[in-house]
Structure 1
Amino acid sequence: MSVKFQLKKDAYIKKGAVGFSFTTYFFEFLTPLFRGDIKGILMLLVIRILVLSPGYLINHFFKNFNFNSNSLFTKILSPFLDIKYKYILICYFLFIGILSILTILVWLYIGSWYNKNYTMRLLKKGYSPLENDDYALALLKGYGYLEYTEEEKEDSKKMELYKNIVETVKKDEKTKYYIFLIYFIIIFVIAVTTNYLAISKVGDITYLEAIRAAGI
């Protein structure tokens, strides 16, 4: 989870955040939805559609392909019909795997970007930390959301306090990244094992034989 703190503007209080947003990675546009961030919802919805479209189109094609020997499309694909079906599956799984990796990378970037984008927009609207909230100020300035004042730079005790707060938070963030890495390794092993078992069950039939066996 990211580290949150309160920001105030007049009588309104909202939560700013720093660090990687795991909720944005896993739940995507639901995170800005719960925050009431309309702009964030629209941005993440558009990203979701763009990222998922290639995989959806490929899956739609494989699930809805109708074999018709007289169609132009089938004639174009005819050189591939005698290829072993397991090779087709290997190419398919590799393609989906690459798309999945790209999707993960995109959402990892979004997860690390969204909190800063959201909090910076709040600051530009006039929201600011509560009075004497050194914790929020340390995080906002340590993560580069705000600049240190000359008075703060000359106050060694305050700068040391800010430094300790930021280092503690970043240390906790690093621990979360290791947990995330273990999660990815588990998902990778499950995906490879599942796909390997699916390919091993196919046998040596050709793509044409597989299509006919499926009744397409």
Structure 2
Amino acid sequence: MQNPFENGDNHEGPNGIPVPPNYATVVRKDNGEIRIGKVGFSLTAFLFNVLVPIFRGDWYNLLCMIGIQMGITLGIQSYPFASTTDFATAWSTIEFLVGLLWGFIYNMMYFRHLFNRGFTPATQRSYDLLAKRGYLPKWLKK
């Protein structure tokens, strides 16, 4: 298969399929399960919030995200706003900021949870990429 990405040494997907340079592959040694995920800002988490962990089957992070969003919602709802316009402005601003928060931290949350479940970087390239971005927990660093 021809590699559409710039370097030709990243055939670490299933059956040797190439992965983009900003994606890392992790594998679970006991059953051989492979997960591939993006390292860096998650545009999908920014745009779609809690739908991303649903589609990935990441139930732990889904519950964390829902809990945080519920707390923020309850905090906004309990604040006495002078008008409906003030409430709408505050609501949309906070929702945008929460979307940015998920965009910046969701991929790290996803990889950290996979590491806690027994996954490890599949290749040295994935290890280096995850270590460079600070995604690896201290107990997994060499």
TM-score over 0.5 (shorter chain): yes
Q: Give TM-score scaled by structure 1 length.
A: 0.45
Q: 2:16 is matched with which residue?
A: none
Q: 1:94 is matched with which residue?
A: 86
1:48 Cα deviation (Å)?
Answer: 3.3
Match of 2:71 among 35, 50, 54: 50
Unmatched 5+ stretches in structure 1: 59-87, 150-216
Match of 1:141 among 128, 131, 135: 131
Q: Give TM-score scaled by structure 2 length.
A: 0.65
Looking at structure 1, the residues matched to 42 and 109 of structure 2 have their Cα atoms a distance apart, in angstroms, of 11
Looking at structure 2, the residues matched to 16 and 144 of structure 1 have their Cα atoms a distance apart, in angstroms, of 15
SS of residue in 2 equivalent to 1:144: coil
What is the RMSD computed on CA atoms of the aligned residues?
2.7
- Taking every aligned residue pair, what percent have the same amino acid on both sides? 29
Looking at structure 1, the residues matched to 49 and 118 of structure 2 have their Cα atoms a distance apart, in angstroms, of 26
8 Å CA contact retained: 2:24, 2:129: no
1:47 Cα deviation (Å)?
Answer: 3.0
Correspondence list, 1:165-176, <5 A: none
1:49 Cα deviation (Å)?
Answer: 3.2
Give the AA of the match of 1:29. V
Looking at structure 1, the residues matched to 45 and 115 of structure 2 have their Cα atoms a distance apart, in angstroms, of 20
Change in CA separation of 1:20 and 1:137 when aligned onto 2, cut-off 3 Å: same
* 1:17 is aligned to 2:38: yes
Match of 1:104 among 96, 105, 112: 96
SS of residue in 1 equivalent to 2:55: helix
Change in CA separation of 1:45 and 1:25 when aligned onto 2, cut-off 3 Å: same
